[in-house]
Amino acid sequence: MDPARRRRLRLPVVLTCNFLVLAFVLSCCNPPKPAAIHATISLCAVDVARAADFPNDACYTGTFHATGAQQALHITAVDKNGTALPNAQIKVTVAGANARSDSVTTDASGQATYQYSGSHTGTDTVSATLGSDSAAKSAHPAVIHWLAQQHVTHPVVLVHGIQEDATDFAHQFDPSVVDSDQASDGSKQTWTALIEALKLTYDPAFMKAFCYVDDVAWRTTPSACPADEAALRDCDPSLPPSSSGPPYPCISQGSVDESAVALAHVVVDLSAAAGGKPVTLLAYSMGGAVTRTLLAGCLNSAASDQSLCQQAAGMVNDTIFLDGAQQGSWLLTVKHGFNAATLSVQNITPTALSAFSSVLPLIEQNIYGVVNQKLGLNLNNPAETDLTPQSANILAHNSVQPATNVQIYTFYGDVEFGMDVTYFIYTLPANAYLPMGDLVMLAQDDNPLASPLWGGGSLCDSCGPLVNGYHENGRYHAWALRQKYTVNINGLVPILSVPDAVSAFQQVVNSPVQHLNVSQPVTQAPGTAIQVADSTHLAGTATTDMPYEILLVLMHGDGLI
């Protein structure tokens, strides 16, 4: 090459390299200025009913309240270092049905309480800002649903989950019911927002917490369960919770078939007490299997019990499944030793599954370890046998459609997670996401007549694709509570052995729509980040919180709105 030409080519290259080196040096010597840290305001609404039992754990993202009553909101202000801000002027803005604007001043601990009364039904969104710092991080708004106090007769039965105590829910429906271990039951008295919303509209005298045939309630407070259930229980309170085999200890892990017959008695009696009005069933977890068995006619029971269940099913108008176990739990399939590769028979595409094939057993182990620790699953108990996918109970109740007179509403968790990989400074984003349902039940087969090997909790016969997490067809209505997470895996190191992978995966396990969290305030309280499509078009917004949607569905069906 001509030397003169070589020199002409070399000059731009040298200049470019020098420019890149200079840019690198400048970026190191002059790093971008960190974002300014300002004060932070937090806000929560006091749940009056909850505060009566647990005053230190009764302030959430929102509440249901009767019009004319006082709603208290707690406000906290801290500076950029997290130190309390005393004498701070806080502007409180209420937007919605009872719009207004006020100000409060924090005390020496940086806290203030704002109270107001809502005279109009509807929804308020309450926000709080710090007047002295326009850049302060404002509080997450609180949501207050104001309802007119009514006592409409509408029988409701809550059918709780496995190894739960009906007394925890009976006490919420009727505070005069004494829960002997109530002081330690703060985390167990769940579905609080939903129960309070129902009690503001409907007469709590016709609301019951169902007691299983071996419910913990029989040990703690027998009076919490009606006499007709007492005659059906197959339980020996003298046995310790670790015992197995008949007669079963009071641990709410008895036969699903037997409990379905007991539920039929409750439905018939409650409907009669309410003057023949139809009954609504709220069914969570194992309660979904019990309810599904009843609606199928208790096919594994004696002929007289089948007749009773068919009678009771005809008295049910609405069934609301809340992470219900219609097809069983995949955790029990794992415990029976099935290979995770057979998950491909569920509606998981081979592409989505293949990305996780090498780590799926470890993912299963992690989920199972966390959930089993809380649920205490025991394959020797009748409930676990019945909740195992393709059990005799599931095959029976999924062999027929639920009673045709029943409107079916299903809310189910839909956790998806993907894996991205970091090489040095480069990150390869996740290109596939594995659907894991609510981590206890999968959410892949809507068909009410399906009994897949890996179970499931979704239910929406011949419904079309989900639109904004919702789909329906005739009497079937279903909401997917979707949450998506990404777990970072460094190189080819197996999942869960890398510290940041463990941390990221813990987010999946702690998801608010995870089976054990869905009944908690983080998911249920008004104002929560978990929103569902409003199928009634009566909420005033396209989405709303789950308990308000359930209330609107029932009120609309009763012609109250």
Q: Give the pLDDT confidence score for residue 187 in this predicted structure.
A: 79
24 domain residue, yes or no: no
Mean of pLDDT over the chain = 83
Q: Give me 352's structure tokens.
A: 């989505």
Q: Is the pLDDT of residue 274 over 90?
A: yes
Tell me: do 129 and 208 sit in the same domain.
no
247 domain residue, yes or no: yes
Question: SS3 for 363-375, per residue?
Answer: HHHHHHHHHHHHH
Tell me: do 303 and 445 sit in the same domain.
yes
Tell me: do 236 and 106 sit in the same domain.
no
Least reliable range by pLDDT among 22-31, 37-46, 371-380, 476-485: 22-31
Question: What's the sign of the alpha-carbon dihedral 458, 462, 465, 470?
Answer: negative
Q: What percent of the chain has pLDDT over 70?
A: 78
Match 């079916």 to its residue by tokens. 408
Q: Give the pLDDT confidence score for residue 357 in this predicted structure.
A: 65
Mean pLDDT (whole number) for 467-486: 94
Q: Is the pLDDT of residue 545 over 80?
A: yes
Q: Is the pLDDT of residue 1 over 70?
A: no
Q: Is the pLDDT of residue 491 over 60?
A: no
Rounded Cα distance, 184 and 287, in Å: 23
Indicate the helix (H) or strand (E) that contains 196: helix 192-201
482 domain residue, yes or no: yes
Q: Count CB atoms within 10 A of the CB of residue 154.
A: 24
Tell me: do 162 and 141 sit in the same domain.
no
Q: Is the pLDDT of residue 31 over 90?
A: no
Q: How far is CA 13 from CA 9, 24, 122, 429, 544, in A?
A: 7, 17, 68, 33, 60
Most confidently predicted of 180-184, 443-447, 502-506:
443-447
Q: Is the pLDDT of residue 336 over 70?
A: yes
Q: Give the pLDDT confidence score for residue 15 in this predicted structure.
A: 34
Instruction: Express each pLDDT in 437-474 by its tens digit.
Output: 998 998 878 999 999 888 999 999 999 999 999 999 99
Rounded Cα distance, 316 and 280, in Å: 6
Rounded Cα distance, 257 and 299, in Å: 9
Q: Give the pLDDT confidence score for residue 36 in this predicted structure.
A: 44
Tell me: do 134 and 203 sit in the same domain.
no
Instruction: Express each pLDDT in 368-415 by its tens digit.
Output: 777 777 776 777 788 989 999 999 999 999 999 999 999 999 999 999
Give the pairing of strands 407-423 and 316-324. parallel
Structural domain ending residue among the three candidates 117, 147, 177: 147
Q: Give me 167's structure tokens.
A: 């007394």
8 domain residue, yes or no: no
Most confidently predicted of 22-26, 210-214, 418-422:
210-214
26 domain residue, yes or no: no
pLDDT class of 25 with cuts at 50, 70, 90? very low
18 domain residue, yes or no: no
Q: Give the pLDDT confidence score for residue 284 in this predicted structure.
A: 97
Structural domain ending residue among the three candidates 147, 180, 207: 147
5 domain residue, yes or no: no
9 domain residue, yes or no: no
Q: Give the pLDDT confidence score for residue 7 in this predicted structure.
A: 45
Structural domain ending residue among the three candidates 116, 147, 178: 147
pLDDT class of 363 with cuts at 50, 70, 90? confident
Tell me: do 161 and 294 sit in the same domain.
yes
SS3 for 432?
A: coil
Q: Give the pLDDT confidence score for residue 498 in this predicted structure.
A: 57
Q: Is the pLDDT of residue 72 over 70?
A: yes
Tell me: do 138 and 161 sit in the same domain.
no
Q: How far is CA 367 from CA 360, 436, 439, 481, 494, in A?
A: 11, 10, 7, 19, 16
Q: Give the pLDDT confidence score for residue 38 in this predicted structure.
A: 74
218 or 308, higher pLDDT = 308
Tell me: do 397 and 540 sit in the same domain.
yes
pLDDT class of 153 with cuts at 50, 70, 90? very high
Least reliable range by pLDDT among 58-72, 75-89, 537-551: 75-89
Tell me: do 317 and 259 sit in the same domain.
yes
Question: What's the sign of the alpha-carbon dihedral 72, 77, 83, 89?
Answer: negative
Q: What percent of the chain has pLDDT over 90?
A: 56
Tell me: do 365 and 458 sit in the same domain.
yes
Least reliable range by pLDDT among 206-215, 414-423, 551-560: 414-423
Rounded Cα distance, 93 and 126, in Å: 6
pLDDT class of 16 with cuts at 50, 70, 90? very low
Q: Residue 76: which domain range? A: 40-147
How many domains in the chain?
A: 2
Q: Give the pLDDT confidence score for residue 191 in this predicted structure.
A: 95
Mean pLDDT (whole number) for 519-539: 95
pTM (predicted TM-score):
0.87
pLDDT class of 418 with cuts at 50, 70, 90? confident
DSSP 8-state secondary structure symbol assigned to residue 136: S
Tell me: do 352 and 472 sit in the same domain.
yes
Tell me: do 226 and 353 sit in the same domain.
yes
Report the CATH number at residue 66. 2.60.40.10
Q: Give the pLDDT confidence score for residue 23 in this predicted structure.
A: 35
Q: Is the pLDDT of residue 118 over 60?
A: yes
Least reliable range by pLDDT among 240-244, 323-327, 459-463: 240-244
